[in-house]
Amino acid sequence: MSRPHRRATVHDIAAAAGVSRGTVSRVLNGGYVSAEARAAIEAAITEVGYVPNNAARALKMRRSQAVAFVALEPHSLFLDDPNIGSIMLGANAALSLADHQMVSLVVESARDTERVARYLSGGFVDGAIVVSARTRDPIIKVISELALPAAFVGHPPDLDQSIPFVGIDNAGSAQAITARLLAGGRRRIGMIAAALDRDSGIDRLAGFKAALGTAYDAELVADVPHYDYGSGVKGMRALLAAEPAIDGVFAASDAIAAGALEALREAGRSVPGDVGVVGFDDSTWAVRCQPQLSTVHQPAKQLGSCAAQLVLRQLRGEVLEPGGQLLPTPIVWRESA
Amino acid sequence: MSRPHRRATVHDIAAAAGVSRGTVSRVLNGGYVSAEARAAIEAAITEVGYVPNNAARALKMRRSQAVAFVALEPHSLFLDDPNIGSIMLGANAALSLADHQMVSLVVESARDTERVARYLSGGFVDGAIVVSARTRDPIIKVISELALPAAFVGHPPDLDQSIPFVGIDNAGSAQAITARLLAGGRRRIGMIAAALDRDSGIDRLAGFKAALGTAYDAELVADVPHYDYGSGVKGMRALLAAEPAIDGVFAASDAIAAGALEALREAGRSVPGDVGVVGFDDSTWAVRCQPQLSTVHQPAKQLGSCAAQLVLRQLRGEVLEPGGQLLPTPIVWRESA
DNA sequence: TTGTATGCGTTATCAG
DNA sequence: CTGATAACGCATACAA
């Protein structure tokens, strides 16, 4: 009965309605068309089961109405950083409002890198939002060379300063939360610093130093590779060994703080009684800990929507001045300190 | 100096190399071409900075080499289910091996639904992997009507039984872990059942009932809406109130189990001493808890790669027999029971 | 208001 | 081995 081996096209609907393709296109996209023609065409559309071909439209219009969301190092992102989901949702919401499709791409391997680069440059997307831990990546070079409208979330890309970004003030936030730990009367405050090969890690440590000033003691910072729970356990043990009298800890992430709590527990220290602990991210870790963590809130959803706006504005033709914007990071005070 | 206002095309490179477009296409896609022509063309390619246009290629080839990963209800997925990231990564790895680009789409609102439906039907993707909590969704109808090669992860779609799926045996797994709780000598075993509007929730409860047999007591199941931590706390409190002598609990998810642990702690019960607790998912929750959770392992990565294979096989022209496959779910035994 | 013709960038067919 | 030429499905300037 029905064997739609070939999808119905504008041509088919024109034939079915007894008009020309031009007229059909006009009712599809808006334009002058008589009421009777419109009626006939609309009937024909449902009759033949027309579904527009995006590839053809994109080819013609040089616009796909799609924006890529590129997650570099998704492994560390999805595992270490519980905020990635919220950033995606925030970006999607903003793009959705502007009737753009967000397509999120994952690059894990060299193979992925190459394929994604091709994908980005091929006209399937009009722009890209890049979220990454590291800021040097071949993908960024590709975007830069293609002059693809893009935005960075996290920190400024160091390959092309003209790509706008949105992020948070890691150093300032770290300094602020450490200061309040200090104001709480803690005297021997340490830090579990992580990911010192990334801007975020470096900046959080810098903020910590700044808050402590002359009281800063390099012996009291444990250096761990990742933002994860396991690193937190190890880092806290190291701190405890270095300074048994430690009474305050700034963990570079909530996951690390959770690990620190565990190490503290096994060492028989009470929190926040014996030692105060603060984290960073305000992720799900913060509330699932016992006690719940005082931490720096990351406005993940807004980060995503801001990045989306940055791309959308470029698509509208605006030329953005280089640089980026930092979103506020309120400190949320819970029981751990 | 260079103002590539218009991207270089096959036409340009043909002109630069002094050959025809056909010959260029031949070196691009493989075919007979003389060594000298090939050399000239390859030189021209880098000279003009050619980058292929996917939209045009997709239009011509009727293939985009892209497969959608559609997350329905991403909110509950990203928040409740820590496995979603792993499923994505698994699917991406499999697609990557077959040189297909995975593009993941998020549908949160009615607006999203409509836009994603258009996107899927427009030729930007060759197939789709759908992961969803609920199985009735307009998107599935669209896929079904378009006969888009697809696969479902989670449970069978009830709108179109011809769409293959990959999932786990929720009922069987629940029964198995409950049985071992029982074998451990627990006498008054309860369950915190969640999401009873979804297959997964219903099946886990069914498995629990089956394991208990005549010992099943409806008073000992707490019914909570979501798979999250907060629900676990409330559910456990309810159970404690209903049966103070409870000595075993099967939580419908690890997050719920974590919440239950918290409620147990506040009630002064020891785990696993006074009461044994088991969860479901083997997510990050499981190892962060104190004590760590005994739970049912979900092979998230394999779920993703299997779904990808299911789609890829259809793209190769295979006709899959209706139905699906269930992946094994080993029980991992830790300290909580 | 409507029809016709043209081109978007590719690949494929088919003579040369 | 290579060069014209014709689609793919759509939108649009232009003519009617």
For A74-101, the pLDDT digits (tens) are: 776 666 666 888 899 999 999 999 999 9
A200 and A253 belong to one structural domain:
yes
Banded pLDDT at B135 (limits 50, 70, 90): confident
Asked if A200 has any chain B CB less than 8 Å from its own CB, the reply is no
A308 and A258 belong to one structural domain:
no
Output the pLDDT for position A287.
86
A190 and A280 belong to one structural domain:
yes
Asked if B305 has any chain A CB less than 8 Å from its own CB, the reply is no
A266 and A319 belong to one structural domain:
no
- Evaluate whether residue A58 is within a structural domain: no
Please indicate whether residue A317 or residue B82 has the higher confidence score (pLDDT): A317
User: In chain B, which ranges are E strands?
Assistant: 66-72, 101-107, 127-131, 150-154, 165-168, 189-194, 221-224, 248-251, 276-278, 295-296, 324-327, 331-332
A94 and A140 belong to one structural domain:
yes
Which nucleotide shows the minimum CA-to-C1' distance to residue A25? D11
Q: Which residue has the tokens 């077959």?
A: B98
B71 and B155 belong to one structural domain:
yes
Chain B residues with CB-CB distance to A85 below 8 A: 74, 78-79, 84-85
- Alpha-carbon Rg of chain B, whole angstroms? 26
Residue nearest to nucleotide C3 (CA to C1'): A20
Output the pLDDT for position B2.
40
- Evaluate whether residue A2 is within a structural domain: no
A157 and A177 belong to one structural domain:
no
- Alpha-carbon Rg of chain A, whole angstroms? 26
CATH code of residue B148: 3.40.50.2300
Chain B residues with CB-CB distance to A64 below 8 A: 55, 124
Measured between alpha carbons, how far is residue B266 from residues B136, B162, B231, B261 in Å?
Answer: 39, 49, 15, 9
B129 and B96 belong to one structural domain:
yes
- Specify the number of domains making up chain B: 3
Residue type, A189: I
- Evaluate whether residue A78 is within a structural domain: yes
Residue pLDDT, tens place only, B211-248: 999 999 999 999 999 888 889 999 999 999 999 999 99
Residue pLDDT, tens place only, A182-207: 999 999 999 999 989 888 899 999 99
- Evaluate whether residue A3 is within a structural domain: no
Q: Which residue has the tokens 């603060």?
A: A278
- Evaluate whether residue A132 is within a structural domain: yes
Which range of residues forms the domain containing residue A25? 10-52
The arithmetic mean of pLDDT across residues B187-212, rounded, is 95
Asked if B55 has any chain A CB less than 8 Å from its own CB, the reply is yes
- Evaluate whether residue B59 is within a structural domain: no
Q: Which two tokens stand for residue A228?
A: 């994860």
Asked if A57 has any chain B CB less than 8 Å from its own CB, the reply is yes
The arithmetic mean of pLDDT across residues B52-79, rounded, is 89
Measured between alpha carbons, how far is residue A162 from residues A90, A167, A207, A322, A325 in Å?
Answer: 23, 15, 26, 5, 13
Global pTM value:
0.92
- Give the Cα separation of B240 and B84 in Å (integer): 32
* φ, ψ of residue B149 in degrees (nearest 5): -55, 125
Report the percent of chain A where pLDDT is more than 70: 96
Buried b (16+ CB within 10 A) or exposed e, A235-265: bbbbbbeeeeebbbbbbbbbbbbbbbbbbbe
Report the percent of chain B where pLDDT is more than 70: 96
Tell me how long chain B is: 337
Residue pLDDT, tens place only, B4-22: 467 899 999 999 999 999 9
Q: Which two tokens stand for residue B239?
A: 């159970």
For residue A154, the surrounding DSSP H or E stretch is: strand A150-154
A63 touches strand D (CB under 7 A): no
Output the pLDDT for position A4.
47
B80 and B20 belong to one structural domain:
no
The arithmetic mean of pLDDT across residues B153-166, rounded, is 88
- Evaluate whether residue A337 is within a structural domain: no
Which residues, at least 6 apart from B63, have a Cβ–Cβ distance to it below 8 Å?
B126
Which residues, at least 6 apart from B24, have a Cβ–Cβ distance to it below 8 Å?
B10, B13, B14, B17, B41
- Give the Cα separation of B166 and B262 in Å (integer): 34
Question: What's the half-sphere exposure (Cβ side, CA atoms, 13 Å) at B212?
Answer: 23
A95 and A159 belong to one structural domain:
yes
Which residues, at least 6 apart from A294, have a Cβ–Cβ distance to it below 8 Å?
A177, A276, A277, A278, A279, A331, A332, A333, A334, A335, A336, A337
- Evaluate whether residue A57 is within a structural domain: no
A184 and A289 belong to one structural domain:
yes
Residue pLDDT, tens place only, A11-31: 999 999 999 999 999 999 987
Residue pLDDT, tens place only, A211-234: 999 999 999 999 999 888 889 999
Output the pLDDT for position B290.
84
Output the pLDDT for position B14.
92
- Give the Cα separation of B73 and B62 in Å (integer): 30
Using the beta-carbon criterion (under 8 Å), do A101 and B115 form an inter-chain contact? Answer: yes
B272 and B174 belong to one structural domain:
yes
Distance of CA B5 to the CA centre of its chain: 41
Residue A6, pLDDT above cutoff 80: no
As a rounded value in angstroms, the CA-to-C1' distance for A26 and D15 is 17
Specify whether the CB–CB gap between A231 and A202 falls below 8 A. Answer: no
Specify whether the CB–CB gap between A273 and A334 falls below 8 A. Answer: no
